[in-house]
Amino acid sequence: MRAAAEVEAEGYGKLTRIEELIAFCGRLPAKRVGIAFCVGLRREAGIIEQALEQHGLEVHSACCKVCGLSKEDLSLPMLRGSGFETACNPIGQAFLLNRESTDVNLIVGLCVGHDMLFAKHSTAPVSTLIVKDRVLGHNPAAVLYSSYHRNRLMPAAADLGEESGKAAKQVGGKTVCACQVCLGHYLRGLHTMGE
């Protein structure tokens, strides 16, 4: 907890997520970092590995297709319908990185569900560096800022918060930000939407 709080206090608004990770590893101290990555983000995983190594960290990587298991042999649905397709193996990734005795493991673009299996079977603490989102360029938060995607996700809420991009709520006849912090401030008379 202390290491995370120190990194937040010193790097707030100044450090990128990767820079925060490097600082966090230095504070633990953690020297051996594992990267569990999706084959579709192998280039990004390679860049991350180089950056971490340049800052003195020892990096071990495991691709999602480790062991080359057949989807057909595992009775899993296939993307193309027929032919050989390699299944993702997040548990195998965790076992490989566990064998390397990593201090911290990173997820780089694992599929939904696979990320959870990896985290469950990893003996080292896990942080997600890149979340897979094939539609939004691996930025799932973009759905919150794009009215087109947000309206597809939540059609009933399409009329709230469009002018500011924030979720909004009617309270006492006024429109206020719907987050719990802002609602608490509004109820104590501290602000309304846009303040």
pLDDT tens-digit series, residues 102-158: 999 999 999 999 999 999 999 999 999 999 988 888 888 888 877 777 777 787 665
Confidence band, pLDDT 50/70/90 cuts, at residue 16: very high
Contact criterion met (CB below 8 Å) for 33 and 106? yes
Contact criterion met (CB below 8 Å) for 42 and 63? yes
pLDDT at res. 173:
64
Domains and CATH numbers, the chain: 2-130 (3.40.50.1860), 142-187 (no CATH)
pLDDT tens-digit series, residues 37-75: 999 999 999 999 999 999 999 999 999 999 888 888 898
pLDDT at res. 102:
98
pLDDT at res. 39:
95
pLDDT tens-digit series, residues 173-194: 665 555 655 555 555 555 444 4
CA angle 135, 153, 141 (to 5 degrees): 55
Q: Which residue has the higher pLDDT, 182 or 76?
A: 76
pLDDT at res. 193:
40
pLDDT at res. 9:
92
Predicted TM-score of the model (pTM): 0.75
DSSP assignment string, 1-59: -HHHHHHHHHHTTTS-HHHHHHHHHHHTT--EEEEEE-GGGHHHHHHHHHHHHHTT-EE
Q: Which residue has the higher pLDDT, 102 or 76?
A: 102
> What number is the average pLDDT over the span 97-105?
98
